[in-house]
Structure 1
Amino acid sequence: MALQGTTGHGVLRRTSVALGAAGLAIAGFAAYGGNDHDDGGGGGRHHDRARNVIFIQGDGMGIAHRELIRLATVGKDGQLAMDALRFAGWTHTDSVDPEEAVTDSAAGATAFSTGVRTYNGAVGVDADGHPVPTLLEHAHNLGKATGLVTTAQVTDATPAAFGAHVPDRGDHSEIARQYIEESRPDVILGGGEDWWFPAGDPGAWPDHPAEDPTEESRSTQGNLVERAKQQGYEYVSTAAELKKADGARLLGLFANQEMFQQANEGEGDVYAPPVPLVDMAAKALDVLSEDRDGFFLLIEEEAIDEMAHHSNTALTIKSGQALDQTVAMVMDFAKHHRDTLVLVVGDHETGGLAIENVDAEDESGEGQTAEDGPFPLAGSDLDFTVDWTTGAHTGAATPLTAEGPHAVELARSQPNTAVFDVLLEAMRGH
């Protein structure tokens, strides 16, 4: 399945560009701006306080995913918004799971959110199952507004790791309960309405939709939307309602489960969120920026990971483009709010993605380890193919780009837990 490119010029070397391996990713990924601590519009000074922190995650997004999105969108000589941030580094993604060598999203997000490595499946707890304070909770204690925005269920592993504490990432309704009764983010936007309404009460999104008949309301904690309203949240379920919403606390659930349908190409795969990620993020910024003490906001594009699990290159690209559009909007906000720290990172790599020349004698794999393509290299008459070496996660390091107060401290090789340290320091102004 081919994807049309947009802008950009240049040619692709007639050699394989296999960027899934961590070593090659690291070798080619240097810090923009070096050790320059001068603010100068780039916001690199390590001693400035970050009034606002915007944590943007492409779930499952490794260096090869970023290059795939770039080549398909702007071509060899183009640059994505996420790659234009001034400082760059990478993070190691290892969890401390006793049975698996490679992390999952829950352990990866918990490392970012708490600075503590934990076992796969753990959300906001350490390896012994004990709750650990998150960046969102630290921000709240500093008087800041907080928000969670995702194209996954709002109770999925990544947002949950910032706003809840459970030993099992699958306890979605308990995660939702903790949001509205304990961590209390001011803005919660995404999918997953099924986990907020009890069985037999479909809410705004009907049970058993044609695109996925398995979806149905299944809250184990009663009607959590009603409880959210009692806690002062304005509830919305459509793009029109979101646009009109004017409450200081906002809960928006725009799908039964994820805001897309993940599948192999041509087998029911759809990436068309009822509310685009960029619109949810823009609304969150509108609400949160009213707080005079600033805010902490998590923004996640989940479909990069889910489509990579299915070797679905076309929708990996499409969801990556949606993420990059969101990054561009966020950076426009940051230009007008110089005390804002923005970072873009992946929690792990998914799919063992490799970008290659078209070669009829180099076909490999089937199903979730297939060669996919060809795809057009934007701005040229060349094509490339994509090899998926696994349908699971890999242990590759993930690239990170950042700009704003303390961003220079992220321009290095680091464990994922170090991101927590830098962001907390930035919010505190130490």
Structure 2
Amino acid sequence: MQWLVAPVVAGTLAAAGLIIFNPLTDAGAGKKADTGAPQRTVRNVIFINGDGVGAAHREAARLFYAGPRGTLMMDSFPVSGRLTTSPDDPAKIVTDSAAGASAWATGVATYNGAVSVDPAGNPLPALGAEAKKAGRATGLVTTAQVTDATPAAFFANAKDRAAQDDIARQYLERSKPDVILGGGEDWWLPAGKPGAHRDKPAEDPAEGSRGTKGDLITKAKADGYQYVTNAAGLAAVKPGKVLGLFANQELFQQKPEGQGDVYRPPVTLADMTRTALTGLAADPDGFFLLVEEEAVDEFAHSDNGTRVLQAMGELEKAVAVAKAFAANHPDTLVVVTGDHETGGLAIEDYADGDGPFPVKGTGLKFWIDWTTKGHTGQSVPVTAYGPSAERFNGQHPNTYVHEVLRPLLVN
């Protein structure tokens, strides 16, 4: 894989702040051509998971960041639909992230905790690994551990999502993504051997190296990966494969609200996405990139409206990076969805729950209420931009994602 010399999206995004779609000034908005002509070839696929993001999460973010007459970038895409999320689990009707992502990556519904294995535990071909074998560049970007359920489902197989050190091993030995950016250094090093991020940090003394597969960072370097651990290192990456692990575990602290909950990633999801696109775009055969904002799910598990809105804003910035890239590369399909809904989020106009939160551009306020600290069985929105986007019209099971994407990536 070769890397571009010039930035892919130079001049298209502000260094900070959200890019909010405005139907009055975006001349391309709503035009049929934006969905992509059916005959246009898809060279690149950017698949974005807002972990735990349901329709109400998007609406709360819209009110907060864009106001009652505004539209988020992720909702400005010309094609929208819904995905159901039921797993194939003998004990649960509500999915977890592993089963949800496995449905996308394999086209097979499976049990909670499964990473691209069928309900009997048999490994299935995973879409990211298949795209790599077909000659495309591949990458994953997440604010979770790079070996967490969603990225793992596209590039590994495991009967139990907890086997994160073995998932890391599979990345290096089997699926070999070109770009790996996120958290989770603990799973790449054996216990007692801290890396760039010290064991037992003050913010979470439970963190520390815990792998059982040897020193996988040294192995990655031997395999030709540049290893970077902070924002300066990310900014200085050279042409070639990149492994970036920017924290022991997630790139945030999901402690209970007001008790150490922090969303201040050492590198932003938008910057990781931009770096990944800059590298992957040089491959003449195209690429597949998975992008995930994990913090929405984690903070919704704590019914933490403040941090959920913060994470939604960072997801929106990453979507803006992807949209800007696709606008300049019309052979690129961008899909934004969620693996499930978390928290049973409801928007209310009276003081009963988290808040108040301001409605942008007005003197109004809203509150966020919750029905659970777990996942729900709600269907989730999916929006798409680029060639073949029209396939995502209507309501479909989550396995339908695989039905659409696999023929575009594996041929």
Answer yes or no: same fold by TM over 0.5: yes
Match of 2:3 in 1: none
SS at the partner of 1:290? Answer: coil
Establish whether residue 423 from structure 1 lines up as the match of residue 405 from structure 2: yes
Contact 2:82 2:394 in 1 (8 A): yes
Please, what TM-score do these two structures have when normalized by structure 2? 0.92
Establish whether residue 134 from structure 1 lines up as the match of residue 126 from structure 2: yes
Note the 1:19-168 alignment, pairs <5 A. 40=33, 42-168=34-160
Query: Unpaired segments of 5 or more residues in structure 1?
Result: 9-31, 364-370
Tell me: CA distance 1:131–1:47, structure 2 relative to 1, closer, same or farther (3 Å): farther
Note the 1:395-406 alignment, pairs <5 A. 395-406=377-388
CA deviation profile, 1:171-207 (whole Å, cap 9, x unmatched): 0000000001100000000000000111111100000
SS at the partner of 1:318? Answer: helix
Note the 1:223-242 alignment, pairs <5 A. 223-242=215-234
**CA distance in 1: counterparts of 2:187 and 2:61, whole angstroms:** 32
Structure 1 residue ranges, 4+ long, deviating more than 2 angstroms after superposition: 5-8, 43-49, 425-429
Contact 2:18 2:317 in 1 (8 A): no
Note the 1:8-407 alignment, pairs <5 A. 40=33, 42-359=34-351, 363=352, 371-407=353-389
The one-letter amino acid paired with 2:174 is E
Taking every aligned residue pair, what percent have the same amino acid on both sides?
55
**CA distance in 1: counterparts of 2:367 and 2:124, whole angstroms:** 43
**CA distance in 1: counterparts of 2:234 and 2:193, whole angstroms:** 22
Match of 1:29 in 2: none
**CA distance in 2: counterparts of 1:123 and 1:294, whole angstroms:** 25
Contact 2:349 2:365 in 1 (8 A): yes
**CA distance in 2: counterparts of 1:405 and 1:117, whole angstroms:** 26
Contact 1:43 1:407 in 2 (8 A): yes
Query: Unpaired segments of 5 or more residues in structure 2?
Result: 1-16, 21-28
**Displacement after TM superposition at 1:427 (Å):** 3.0
The one-letter amino acid paired with 2:168 is A
CA deviation profile, 1:128-187 (whole Å, cap 9, x unmatched): 111111221221122100001000000000000011001000000000000011000000
**CA distance in 2: counterparts of 1:7 and 1:121, whole angstroms:** 35
**CA distance in 2: counterparts of 1:424 and 1:168, whole angstroms:** 24
**CA distance in 1: counterparts of 2:52 and 2:36, whole angstroms:** 27
Contact 1:88 1:402 in 2 (8 A): yes
Tell me: CA distance 1:6–1:148, structure 2 relative to 1, closer, same or farther (3 Å): closer
SS at the partner of 2:48? Answer: strand
The one-letter amino acid paired with 1:224 is L
Contact 1:198 1:219 in 2 (8 A): yes
The one-letter amino acid paired with 1:260 is F
Contact 1:7 1:75 in 2 (8 A): no
SS at the partner of 1:123? Answer: coil
Match of 1:15 in 2: none
**Displacement after TM superposition at 1:428 (Å):** 5.0
The one-letter amino acid paired with 1:348 is H
**Displacement after TM superposition at 1:75 (Å):** 0.7
Contact 1:6 1:379 in 2 (8 A): no
CA deviation profile, 1:391-420 (whole Å, cap 9, x unmatched): 000000000000111110111100000011
Contact 1:215 1:257 in 2 (8 A): yes
SS at the partner of 2:399? Answer: helix
Contact 1:7 1:378 in 2 (8 A): no
Contact 2:35 2:79 in 1 (8 A): no
CA RMSD of aligned residues (A): 1.6
**Displacement after TM superposition at 1:263 (Å):** 2.3
Tell me: CA distance 1:7–1:107, structure 2 relative to 1, closer, same or farther (3 Å): closer
CA deviation profile, 1:240-288 (whole Å, cap 9, x unmatched): 0111111411100000000000122211000010000000010000110
